[in-house]
Homo-oligomer: A and B are copies of this chain.
């Protein structure tokens, strides 16, 4: 099998990181193409509707043999089914997809906490509005979403502390990334609130200790969080 090809921005974790974590955990050979020579040109080409019949609106995009797949949750739906990162039952797959979509919602809101007016303008030009939106995100949205995921984990009767059933799924990988991202962006808020979510912290730790994930996190393939990504550390937005 030819390696899968991931098309995503080469300098950020962003939404592509949810895909990278799944590829790494399942030990699927892949090429993170935009990080290589002429990589950006290849990423632009795959988004070019003049060349690709199924061009995506935006990255990440995954080429898997003859399939070209866009949208993060859609890529994970495919990887989950194909590579053992989701249950085999219809009910289990729909539940995974539902949880992943809810993660995508809070990730989009995390982005908008620093860009509430326009993604085409600089943070500095919408800083005042970002302070107001981030205050709401910290006070209302983080507790509501993370409290929801804590409940999902706590109620799952399966062993192992996972979100769905008794085996790791891509949802667990994404919950790890969500906690890591929020810790990076809102360290004071998360330090204060995290004791409310012991199951969420536990699944974060479980994922971090998986051999393939631990090796990935220690490698150069893991890009550091930075202020070009979705989760950004602007101290004024954390207080």
Chain A interface helix/strand/loop/mixed: helix
Given A66-B91, A94-B74, A118-B132, A102-B53 contact (CB < 8 Å): no
Number of copies: 2
Is there an interface contact between B71 and A98, defined as CB atoms closer than 8 Å?
A: yes
Is there an interface contact between B116 and A117, defined as CB atoms closer than 8 Å?
A: yes
Size of chain A's interface in residues, with CB distance under 8 A? 41
Residues of chain A from 130 to 144 with CB closer than 8 A to chain B in the complex: 132-133, 136, 140
17 A-B contact pairs sorted by A residue (CB < 8 Å): A57-B102, A57-B145, A70-B102, A71-B98, A71-B101, A71-B102, A74-B94, A74-B101, A77-B94, A77-B97, A116-B117, A117-B132, A117-B133, A118-B132, A118-B133, A118-B140, A120-B136
- Give A142 to B41 CA distance when docked, in angstroms: 26
A49 is an interface residue with CB less than 8 A from chain B: yes
A180 is an interface residue with CB less than 8 A from chain B: no
Q: Name the contact of A116 in the complex, choosing from B67, B91, B129 (C-beta under 8 A).
A: B129
- Give A129 to B78 CA distance when docked, in angstroms: 39
Measured CB to CB, the closest approach of chain B to A30, in angstroms, equals: 18
Is there an interface contact between A151 and B49, defined as CB atoms closer than 8 Å?
A: yes
